[in-house]
Chain A
Amino acid sequence: MLRSCTAALRTLRALRGRREGASPAARDPVLARRWFSTEKVIPKDHALPNPSWSKDLRLLFDQFMKKCEDGSWERLPSYKNSKLVKEQLSQAQLFTRGYEDGLGFEYVIFYNDDEKRTVCLFQGGPYLQGVPGFLHGGAIATMIDAAVGMCAAIPGGIVMTANLNINFKRISAPFRWDSLCHRRAGIIW
């Protein structure tokens, strides 16, 4: 999906920035000039723990952060908007980041470049309900689409979801998605 490309490009820029030790604005002079002079807009990275995260989610997060220490895994940052500059006309925000902490999608995606694999840790909040007490199948589909899309977009470039086929095995509590790219993605129309 093109959204995967957009998200992936943002993530790749952020990853390269972190590796090179520079902030996105410092590397992009045009971007730096457009920031308000009296206000430094630092986009919030939502793929970090907050008080709504359960113990299980934090535990898994810590386990994967340990795996990142040797460089084999990368934590993918996640921002609400596709732009770092305020746009008065656009109210758009990334679908999966449009909720207050703990109410919607709480997730973080880790990527392994050698294995071309992503792992998504996901905790669904009370605004994602389907059958009372359980997560909506569509919310799960959204999360799978996001994680698998990221897996395809980072190595593959521009991708678009052509088919999303989900067999539900059990009704959900917080869970972890493990997706593996089996083949190179291309533009599919």
Chain B
Amino acid sequence: MIRRGLRAAARLGHHGALPGGPYILPTFSLVSAFGSSMDSLVSRFCQEKTDLKNYALPNASWCPDMLNLYHEFLEKTKADGWIRLPSFKSNRNHIQGLKLPLVLTVSSDKSDCHIFTRCIKTEGQGYEYVIFFHPSKKKSVCLFQPGPYLEGPRGFAHGGSLAAMIDETFSKTAYLTGDGLFTLNLNTRFKNLIRMGSLAVLNVGVEKVEDQKLYISCVAQSTDQQTVYAKASGTFLQLQLEEDSSQYYTLCLQESLLPTALPTWDTPQSSGGCPGSNW
């Protein structure tokens, strides 16, 4: 169990990836009593002022169904409480200023890491998707169009690509709802194949949060809701990210600010100076 591994690793006192069972957690509870507020999580996640490329925007490969639904949900972001989530190349970009607990830090020189669902760069060839999130309802809708590089049976999307898209939508929803970070369980029941280039709509909702676990479900169906592609459920482990004090220290030095508000911290780790690289 991931949580047993986390506690065991804390006793070992390592950090970085451990052979066989990496994790370490200090003695505090996995999620603090107050957790992270949803507003705080969402605002950090949805950085407006950024030079990063946002992949969750329409492009020429999007089919008419996808464009239409996209605009329909975009309208809902104005008044109905929906938020369009940006999608960057790596999850590191979504949580700048935060880091994994020290014991989960993995030293890596791979600066060209991509989140799995954004690894195929050519428009229309891989995952084309956008996620809309509704904080108060704890729901998400993902518009997903699989491209030819996701082929399984000829002309249809690989089942694994749909499972991955469901897991990714679960992941973002779980994180923004309540610090859900790691997938504990993913159960997917496939009903029908998705034709490549067509739209699948994933309706995701958080069922409950209990015992530091987040329970979430999904129905993937066609635009007209006549065809169900899959039903899925998942469980996520809640794990709160930490403030990246080293980044803050560097920023303070740059801005000639005195970090008087910071608690004591260890010597900031240096790993090439890339923000967010001290995971």
Contact = CB atoms under 8 A, between A and B. Distances in A.
A93 B146 CA distance: 13
B138 interface: no
A95 B166 contact: no
23 contacts: A1-B159, A2-B152, A6-B152, A92-B149, A93-B149, A95-B149, A126-B114, A127-B116, A132-B100, A132-B106, A137-B186, A138-B168, A141-B163, A145-B158, A145-B160, A164-B159, A164-B188, A164-B190, A167-B185, A168-B2, A168-B182, A170-B5, A171-B22
A6 B104 CA distance: 40
Contacts of B164: 136-139, 141-142
B119 A104 contact: yes
Contact of B190 (A1, A5, A134): A1
Interface string A1-16: 1110110000000000
A179 interface: no
Contact of B187 (A91, A93, A126, A165): A165
Contacts of A82: 151, 154
Contacts, number: 179
Contacts of B26: none
Interface residues of A, number: 49
A142 B163 contact: yes
A99 B17 CA distance: 25
Contacts of A127: 113-114, 116, 119
B171 A137 contact: yes
Interface string B176-193: 000001111111111001
Contacts of B105: 133
